[in-house]
Amino acid sequence: MPLNAAGQDIPETVAGRPLRPFQGAFATVPQGRKYGGPLKTCRPGANKVVPSLEEAIRNSGLSDGMTISFHHSFRNGDLLVLKVVEICDRLGIRDLRLYPTALFPCHEGLIPYIEKDVVTRIEGSMNGPVGAFVSQGGKLAEPAVLRSHGGRWRAAECGEVVIDVAFIAAPCSDPHGNANGLFGSNPCGPISFSVIDSWVAEHVIVVTDSLVPYPAIPPEIEQGYVDQVALVDRVGDPTGIVSGTLRVTRSPTQLRIARLAVDAVLAAGLVREGMGFQAGAGGISLAATDFLAREMKRHGVKAAFAIGGVTRFLVDMLREGLVEVILDGQAFDPESITSLREDTRHQIITPGFYADYNSLGCATYMLDFAFLGGTEVDLEFNVNVNTHSDGQLLHGIGGHQDVAAGAKVTVITIPTIRGRIPTIRERVTTVTTPGEVVDLVVTERGVAVNPRRPELAEDLRRAGLPVKSLEELRAEAERLVGEGKSPLFGDEVVAVIQWRDGTVIDVVRKVEGWA
Amino acid sequence: MEVLREARCGSEDRSDALVAVRPGPGLRIEVSSKTGPMFAERIREVVEEVLGRYGVAEAEVEVREQGAYDHVIAARLEGALYRAGGGGEAFHRPLEPATPRQGTPRDRLRRTRLYVPGNNARLLAFCDTFGPDCLLLDLEDAVPPEEKDAARFLVRQVLATLEFGDTELWVRINPLDRGGEEDLRVVLGGRPHGVCLPKAETPVEITRLAGLLYELEGRYGLPWRVWVMPIIESPKGVAQAAEIAQASERVVCLAFGAEDYTREVGCSRDWEALLWARSQLVAAAKAAGVQASDTVYAALEDEAGLREEVRRAKALGFDGKGVIHPLQIGPVHEEFAPTPEEVRWAKGVVQAAAEAQAQGKGAATYEGKMVDRPVLERAKRLLALAKVMKLEVGDAS
């Protein structure tokens, strides 16, 4: 088996389809033209509104073997995926391929439908139980395919994945199908993940519980792409969008890592007027955002823009004038939805604008620095986001690859030990993001600088920060807990991890034992 | 030793382990790990090592761990064995140090003393990375009476295993006649730099503690003299503070504890009500040539309040402050740093004195004020402090 540019064994084919091995972060030259949905028309007075989801599904012509797509803007409060699958089961439809942006623990109820072959393939991120289930192998007809946010947009845009029916949970829609996620009785924030689905799908169903008079603004999803507007009692549970904690962590370790991460970007001279940054919603990221805001105030520095996952911490920075513009692809709390409605400096962006490899511009390419997480890092600075050290597939890629590839300085924040598992490994269990796009690894025991960036190491040392090699950090952790056994993988591939350009950076194999 | 009865130690909290031991026959070890098979073998090795060290040949050992580090599992097993066999000399032997450690100078920086509960495996897990000047592993108020024995073994393992860099390591023991002596016999085997004695009220307690330390240092082969930090937290203690500070050469710092003091006096816990006690304590410490460390600031969320209290304590002459969360360390260290104005003044004073000496003048003046010996010494001390804190001092120092 050939090794790809990240040094991973990639089979030549999976389920009869050839895999293109990863060649390097920016090696792929795109070929061909964009894929588009069918040409359609409608007449004045046409009625798109149907009173039930089941009727809309019948109208769509959805049948065995087709691909259906969803966004995950309701995150753990999504109700639509299970509802659609349950109706399909009732209608006797089998062998569906799911193309969600991501699945969450709330989708555990999918497992019985996988077992009875209603759903046989999944191409999308899996956070939690469905991923664990897939890891056991033999459950899906084909291995799952995981893509980054940018990668999923690209795959739909170029026709790598053809969507038969796009289901778009819309907190607010008008009868003609203009839809957004900001208004209505159950707002979830941007639903822009589904914009590409609406452009390319054979059939598009907007699903809403809040039908408003024409025109619904802003039209994140546009009327011209929408076949039907289906009414449901409740489109999703907005309390599920809240990610992690809503207050800054008290964990001393997380705080120390966040503090070191901010000290590192300060030392590197990246905290300056007009900068752009991304910080997520995890415990360390929130704390880092908090420290960063304080340092910006102290140094009198304003950021030109910040990219979310947006929380009220970022919204506060916008209100205080520390950030000029927020580019928002996903809302993580109600405050950020309010801000999206009221503040024109807080803008919705699509994953295409954010991160599409096959495009002439990405917001992530404008980032000066970004704080990202991971489950493991290895001595080559490769980062694993998808699997745990026991081989279980438990997380999606999110924007990890897109941001790491784009930001001038990519900072991975990670404790050296989680539970009692050391996170800095000789080799990561799964390569999600290659070391070539990772610059700093910040732990509670010190900062490791990628040898590709000697000038960064120099800056950090001069500022008195504890610069250590990954080997040293690994040794410190393993002294306390040992290395532990590693899972033994069989040949069966349960998931394919794509790089954002569509090549394969790694595959996840079924765990057969321990060595 | 022999396992006489069933006993258990530890908990099923995150980062902890629950270890049960039962009498034999034979040796049986059962491990259930949160991480599944990943570390089961390694944990078994840890158990075998501890059983070997205590000469246990027959026992049934059950380990249920929730992400506990090796040394936590070892400590929980020691605790279970202690409870199962009734203690004895075997539990008083020093542990093999995992890393080299040096003694500390008596006048080193002690801006912060961070309290960490001695029986909380989760908080202790990363305590080597917090970076206070003094880390204070607490066997007293933070540990309930029925867990004192378990905490001793955990603290000893933490001290022996982790590497703490520049941090000075302290253990707050219980009062000597309420378990403190047994505390010492166990935890000194982990090589701390110092021992905090709570509720210090008389110089006699200090001399008794010093005697015990002398005996145990010799027996455990400790290569340095263990320092003592009496905590003054009662009106009686404040009244005797000077005698306490002078009771032993080992005393390097007097610490103030406001909670008990406030309760016993019946005063409020505000600045004015405690001002006399604080002033008294600082004067007593300085009269004995030792440092003074202020009480903790309990409102964790209130950084501005913490900074204000540190500024006031510093103005009174305190050298450090107790902290209860690593988050408080940064602000306290910053507040104890000399201000740029102080550094400028100190450099001017030192320079003026040097010039006066070069010109053979008896007395120097700086900015119209006479520079006598105490002023010069204060300036020199400020510059030394600034240098240790890596502030920009230039070549004047």
Q: What secondary structure, in 3-state letters, does A297-357 show?
A: HHHCCCEEEEECCECHHHHHHHHCCCEEEEEECCECCHHHHHHHHHCCCEEECCHHHHHCC
Residues of chain B with CATH 3.20.20.60: 112-336
**Total CB pairs under 8 A between chain A and B:** 74
Neighbours of B390 (CB within 10 A): 9
Say whether residue B10 is in contact with chain A using an 8 A CB cutoff.
no
Name the residue among A482, A486, A490 with its Cα closest to residue A507.
A490
Residue A259 makes CB contacts below 8 A (sequence gap 6+) with A287, A291, B330
pLDDT score recorded for residue A251: 87
- Mean of the pLDDT values across residues B57-64? 96
- Residue type at B72? V
Query: What mean pLDDT value characterizes chain B?
Result: 94
Residue of B382 and A409 predicted with greater confidence:
A409
Chain A residue numbers with beta carbons less than 8 Å from the beta carbon of B300 are 250
Q: Which fold has domain B112-336?
A: TIM Barrel (3.20.20)
Q: Which CATH code fits B7-92?
A: 3.30.230
pLDDT score recorded for residue A246: 61
Q: Which two tokens stand for residue A215?
A: 């025109």
Look at chain A and count its residues. Answer: 515
Provide the shortest C-alpha distance from residue A259 to chain B (in Å): 10
| pTM of the predicted protein model | 0.92
Which domains does chain A carry?
A: 51-123+161-241 (3.40.1080.10), 252-492+508-514 (3.40.1080.10)
Residue with tokens 């320079």: B351
Provide the shortest C-alpha distance from residue B318 to chain A (in Å): 26
Q: Is the pLDDT of residue B373 over 90?
A: no
Task: For residue A255, give the nearest of B65, B69, B326 by CB distance.
Answer: B326
Does the beta-carbon distance from B35 to A479 stay under 8 Å? Answer: no
Query: Distance between CA atoms of A109 and B375, rounded to whole angstroms?
Result: 76
Look at chain B and count its residues. Answer: 397
pLDDT score recorded for residue A279: 80
Would you say the C-alpha torsion B122, B123, B124, B127 has a positive or negative sign? positive
Task: For residue B38, give the nearest of A417, A421, A479 by CB distance.
Answer: A421
Provide the shortest C-alpha distance from residue B171 to chain A (in Å): 20
Phi, psi of A413 (to 5 degrees): -105, 125
Which residue of A420, A447, A465 is the best one to mutate when testing the B interface, meaning the one whose CB has the most B CBs within 10 A? Answer: A420
Does the beta-carbon distance from B390 to A484 stay under 8 Å? Answer: no
pLDDT score recorded for residue B88: 85
Say whether residue B213 is in contact with chain A using an 8 A CB cutoff.
no
pLDDT score recorded for residue B378: 86
Provide the shortest C-alpha distance from residue B224 to chain A (in Å): 26
Chain A residue numbers with beta carbons less than 8 Å from the beta carbon of B68 are 420
pLDDT score recorded for residue B396: 42
Q: Is the pLDDT of residue B286 over 80?
A: yes
Question: What pLDDT, in 10s, does the model give residues B202-249?
Answer: 999 999 999 999 999 999 999 999 999 999 999 999 999 999 999 999
Q: Is the pLDDT of residue B397 over 50?
A: no
Does the beta-carbon distance from A421 to B390 stay under 8 Å? Answer: no
Does the beta-carbon distance from B36 to A256 stay under 8 Å? Answer: no
Query: Distance between CA atoms of A294 and A288, rounded to whole angstroms?
Result: 10
The band of B26, judged by pLDDT with boundaries at 50, 70 and 90, is very high
- Do B295 and B269 touch, CB atoms closer than 8 A? no
Asked which of A274-283, B40-49, B121-130, B385-394 is least confident by mean pLDDT, the reply is B385-394
Does the beta-carbon distance from A259 to B98 stay under 8 Å? Answer: no
- Mean of the pLDDT values across residues B80-105? 91
- Please report which helix (H) or strand (E) contains residue A449, including its range: strand A446-449
Question: What pLDDT, in 10s, does the model give residues B132-148?
Answer: 999 999 999 999 999 99
ipTM above 0.90, yes or no: no
Say whether residue A250 is in contact with chain B using an 8 A CB cutoff.
yes
Residues of chain B with CATH 3.30.230: 7-92
Chain A residue numbers with beta carbons less than 8 Å from the beta carbon of B124 are none
The band of B393, judged by pLDDT with boundaries at 50, 70 and 90, is low
Q: Do the strands B59-65 and B17-23 form a parallel or antiparallel pair, or are they unpaired?
A: antiparallel
Task: For residue B327, give the nearest of A255, A479, A481 by CB distance.
Answer: A255
Chain A residue numbers with beta carbons less than 8 Å from the beta carbon of B98 are 479
In our burial notation (b when 16+ CB lie closer than 10 A, e otherwise), range A260-291 reads bbbbbbbbbebbeeebbbbbbbbbbbbbbbbb
Does the beta-carbon distance from A421 to B35 stay under 8 Å? Answer: yes
Which residue of A481, A485, A486, A512 is the best one to mutate when testing the B interface, meaning the one whose CB has the most B CBs within 10 A? Answer: A481
Does the beta-carbon distance from A417 to B326 stay under 8 Å? Answer: no
Provide the shortest C-alpha distance from residue B324 to chain A (in Å): 11
- Do A338 and A314 touch, CB atoms closer than 8 A? no
Chain A residue numbers with beta carbons less than 8 Å from the beta carbon of B334 are none
Say whether residue A485 is in contact with chain B using an 8 A CB cutoff.
yes
- Do A513 and A487 touch, CB atoms closer than 8 A? yes
pLDDT score recorded for residue A507: 97
Residue with tokens 């050992």: B61
Chain B residue numbers with beta carbons less than 8 Å from the beta carbon of A255 are 326-327
Provide the shortest C-alpha distance from residue B33 to chain A (in Å): 10
Provide the shortest C-alpha distance from residue B371 to chain A (in Å): 35
Say whether residue A247 is in contact with chain B using an 8 A CB cutoff.
no
Which residues of chain A, if any, have pLDDT below 70? Answer: 1-2, 243-246
Provide the shortest C-alpha distance from residue A253 to chain B (in Å): 7
Say whether residue B327 is in contact with chain A using an 8 A CB cutoff.
yes
